A and B are shown apart, each in its own frame.
Chain A
């Protein structure tokens, strides 16, 4: 095994452990043991088995799927937990992405300032940017929730769809805020000096040597670790919340709003809380996305990529089930990415139908996702994984 592959394998280890913990059944200690052993084996085997290019693709695929998993978890905390129909995921995603970008980038100076404008640039570290993204998105969610959450489900769906559009319009048209219609570039990637030559100065020599064979192209392996950790944190937090008294109350509000209200629960406040929690998570997802793609503009946050597909993910995986939210994100993203290959391969056939069709292949993927959602709604509205009605750890399971 060459040093390059070994170094790449070392980055794969942690995400694989987390994946193992998620899928293996059994008691915690046993699970951990199983997950570590399995992750070690897979992390070593994958680089030997797969060509380097494919492995890099797999890492970047998992990174994007992981970002969608965060979004899908955020949506689940609103829809699955409290029954809010938020058709404006894209808005909160965008707020998170641009917030983190503003907090972590440098204010453009000199000649650059003529081309690139932004409200401010604080050069804060990555994690601070992510946190601010969550906070600002949560704040936006809070502002919106006051007038809107009293409403019927259908009005909420329409209103949130509108909010996302308005947010996108703002980022599209307000040049001073985040460079308007032009992309906001140069969003820093956390610790990208790990992959530079020479590596970060503070790095111990042994680690630097270990990483030396890697090029900046391999950065995605590190970012996969970051994304996996954030997904894990969000997942654990949501699972804890779901089992807490607060989570039980949320489900009570969702299923039996009137009786929850009659039991003295402040229903409106509960609904606002869960909406804010979901907005926070979506904001975090936005930040993670921004630091991954480095350059963002309003068009990234259109309803298809950032709202519709997330709903498909959650519906497919299973509303109300956090594992399902993650599973759905990976499955739909796999369909979406896989469709690109298939359509690419089918392009001669498409050309035979119409000369324009191969260049419009991307829209076939849209269609595929739309059909997927239609199919889910018609044939399996509960998704792959059903909601587990877990009331408390101290009660036996009801299944």
Chain B
């Protein structure tokens, strides 16, 4: 069979383009929400950990370890199929959003924390010596420096997790992979799958180039 007929059939492209464009929006929206809330939650957790209270540190470390060690797909299936049997029903997109946010937050917390501990003690001491409170030192002295050093890692991690929105297809979120998958089954052609791959390229290829630029721009010499 002809390669183009199977993978880039113009008629099938025309038929499924509108559905796929809607799916692209779903992917983009969920990704944006995940990145915003994941970064915020991760930063918050790293900030709380800075207080070095055992009852705060322990649950945070446990959370970060679990979320980094467990495959997100496993977590999503447990929530999606398990919670209804104890009377909690979450919608498919919310499960996807929640799990990816928690996973991103765990990585972000670890990234921030590693950098915060690497800043010299003098930063903390000087800050507090000028009369700033602990929280003020954290927010105005430590955090801006950590953020600047961590930008390349944060961008990379955010992109990796954003691509995991594809896992939504497993629990029925109408994002790119799931829409392309049903279009493929319906049309009996691989074209929708090619379109899906191209859609991701259009979204993430520029993002990869951007992350390369940022890496060079913020390159931090050890």
- Say whether A and B bind each other: no
Query: Residues on A close to B: CB < 8 A?
Result: none
Query: Residues on B close to A: CB < 8 A?
Result: none
